[in-house]
Amino acid sequence: MVGPELLLLLLGALVVTSIARRLNWSAPLVLVAVGLVVSFIPGVPEFELDPHLILVLVLPPLLYSAALDSSYLNIRANLRPIGLLAVGLVLFTTFAVGVTAKLVFPDLPFAAALVLGAVVAPPDAVAAVAIGRKLGLQRRAMTLLVGESLINDATALTAFKVAVAATVGTAMHPVAGVGMFVLVTVGGIAVGLVVGVAVRFLRKRLCEGVLESALGLLVPFGAYLLAEEGPHLFADVQFSGVLAVVVAGLYVGHHSPRGTYTTRLQDAAVWRSVDVLLESFVFALIGLQVSTIINDVDLNAGLLLGAGAVLLATVLARFVWMYPASYLPVFLSKRLREKERWPHLGQVTVIAWAGMRGVVTLAAAAAIPPEVPGREIILFCAFVVTVSTLLLQGTTLPWVINKIGFEGDDARKDALAEAQIQHRAAQAAVTRLDEEIEDVPEHVRDQLRALAEHRGNAAWERLGRQEEESPAAAYRRLRRVMLSAERDEFIKARDAGEIDDEVLFRVLRELDLEEAALSRE
């Protein structure tokens, strides 16, 4: 892709995303479908996926942003099931798909078949998480999906490197392969921790939101390159750049509440914009690959049937793994039975069906060396699996969630916990106010106490299910009306030449921050 083509692709992807959001459709699925149709329009240039571009410039910021928003405590609490998904399931899928590919493509060497298995093994949870959040999927299910998507890429890419090495004749002993996996994993985690600690140390001393956000934009690329390229300076080894990015993001995100409010507000806006741009780009690019992939292979019934078998094996492998991995540990361990509830059957089924593949699969397929036998077959099968799972499972996942019809009480528990802590926080605020008051006018003290009481009561009011507007809701609505009136007056004054733009922007920021504080999702 050259500059104008890339710019048109980004612009078009954002337009399609905007339309999909207005219609309340899943933007990733719409982007894939539109890209698929556009790829067959005469005159549309071929968009070839550059694996280096995806793995270095696109994947790290997406993973880092997801890690920033993820809960380290929830992931730690669910580390066992996440590990079974992100490591065990990926390796099981690699082997199952490899065996299937060898059966349906007898001329394909088994090592090359395992390359295909490693390529299609890692699901991309972007679409699944978006659908789950919209439909109110239980928090534990969301934690498992997010945790799996953060870690499984590292497992799959490591298995991919081992399988490619075996295919091109530089195979290693199985024990050496396990040792390599451990080294890559531990090294990636260590690099991520070092980067996270260093970034937190620097951000504490920058004390300026703009500089802190600018530094944050460099973190995913720095962590990835440091893990992937840094060890080469001393030895012929690579650590997992994916794990380094994820660990750095979890560490920085976990400690972000101790930072400044300006940094948090700015980071949220910056990373939301980055997510929308990159996700729109990669899902549109997946659809646009259709014509390029098809032109590179000799389409015939055997190839289509073989790709269909690989797709079926990829989907079924997730189901075959999910149910035993969910129930056997609890059944076999008394400690787990006492500590955990039995997994909800509906939740397990939803997670099993939420196995859509994404850009990592296509990027890994495009990175296969030309000397690997059957490269074109592997690319075609990877493309079929990616597009089919996105369109088939992505479009039916909402139906599956609604059909199962299980609901959690996360929202009610969250509201109760928030109300209890907000009450304590309001009391702490009033106590601190009484300690700090010195020669302050009485009306100022009353106003501050009233504000603290309002915030303490608002959380309790949200627990109710009254049809009438609560006092807290009325306060927020009327205060927004007042803020809008203030904003209009300052804009009129600027237009009339009474104040400078600099004054307007300073006041607007103050009003915007207050309105942001009033907003509730």
Q: What is the per-residue pLDDT across 327-376, written as a single tens digit (0 to 9) for each?
A: 998 888 888 877 777 888 888 998 999 888 988 888 888 888 888 898 88
Q: How confident is the model at residue 462 (pLDDT cuts 50, 70, 90)?
A: low
Q: Hey, what amino acid is at 315?
A: V
pLDDT of residue 484: 85
How many structural domains are present in the chain?
3
- Rounded to a whole number of angstroms, the distance between the first and last alpha carbons of the chain is 39
Does 224 lie in the same domain as 198?
Answer: yes
Does 501 lie in the same domain as 437?
Answer: no
Task: State how far the Cα of 23 lies from the Cα of 378, in Å rounded to an integer.
Answer: 36
Task: State how far the Cα of 504 lies from the Cα of 366, in Å rounded to an integer.
Answer: 51
- From 404, 437, 457, give the residue that closes a domain: 404
What are the CA-CA distances from residue 250 to residues 67, 105, 246 (Å)?
5, 42, 6
Beta bridge partners of 357: 123
Does 489 lie in the same domain as 381?
Answer: no
**Count of CB atoms situated within 10 Å of the CB of 82:** 23
Does 491 lie in the same domain as 355?
Answer: no
Task: State how far the Cα of 243 lies from the Cα of 190, in Å rounded to an integer.
Answer: 9
Q: How confident is the model at residue 44 (pLDDT cuts 50, 70, 90)?
A: confident
In a domain, 394, yes or no: yes
In a domain, 74, yes or no: yes
pLDDT exceeds 50 at position 521? no
- From 375, 404, 433, give the residue that closes a domain: 404
Q: Which of 187-191, 229-233, 263-267 shows the lowest per-residue confidence on average (mean pLDDT)?
A: 229-233
Does 67 lie in the same domain as 158?
Answer: yes
Q: What are phi and psi of 123, to 5 degrees?
A: -75, 155
In a domain, 518, yes or no: yes
In a domain, 184, yes or no: yes
The alpha helices in 78-173, defined as continuous H runs, are 79-83, 90-104, 110-120, 126-135, 139-167
pLDDT exceeds 70 at position 106? yes
Angle of helix 27-38 relative to helix 375-404, nearest 10 degrees? 140
What are the CA-CA distances from residue 205 to residues 199, 255, 372, 435 (Å)?
10, 15, 50, 29
Does 152 lie in the same domain as 57?
Answer: yes
Does 420 lie in the same domain as 303?
Answer: no
| pTM, 2 dp | 0.81
Q: Which of 42-51, 75-84, 343-352, 435-444 shows the lowest per-residue confidence on average (mean pLDDT)?
A: 435-444
When the pLDDT of each residue in the chain is averaged and rounded to a whole number, the result is 83
In a domain, 471, yes or no: no
Q: How confident is the model at residue 382 (pLDDT cuts 50, 70, 90)?
A: very high
Does 322 lie in the same domain as 421?
Answer: no
Contact 499, 490 (CB under 8 A): yes
Dihedral-angle region of residue 299 (phi above 0 means left; psi in -120 to 50 means alpha; beta otherwise): beta
Buried b (16+ CB within 10 A) or exposed e, 421-454: ebbeebeebbeeeeeeeeeeeeeeeeeeeeebee
In a domain, 275, yes or no: yes
Q: How confident is the model at residue 176 (pLDDT cuts 50, 70, 90)?
A: low
* CATH at residue 49: 1.20.1530.20
In a domain, 257, yes or no: yes
Q: How confident is the model at residue 226 (pLDDT cuts 50, 70, 90)?
A: very high
Give residue 484's domain range: 477-521
Does 387 lie in the same domain as 363?
Answer: yes
pLDDT of residue 478: 81
Average confidence (pLDDT) over 256-269: 81
In a domain, 237, yes or no: yes
Does 416 lie in the same domain as 400?
Answer: no
Does 418 lie in the same domain as 372?
Answer: no
Tokens found for residue 210 = 């703009």
Q: Which of 39-48, 69-78, 110-119, 247-256 shows the lowest per-residue confidence on average (mean pLDDT)?
A: 39-48
Does 385 lie in the same domain as 334?
Answer: yes
Contacts 24+ apart (CB under 8 A), 470-476: 476/518, 476/520
Task: State how far the Cα of 369 lies from the Cα of 500, in Å rounded to an integer.
Answer: 60
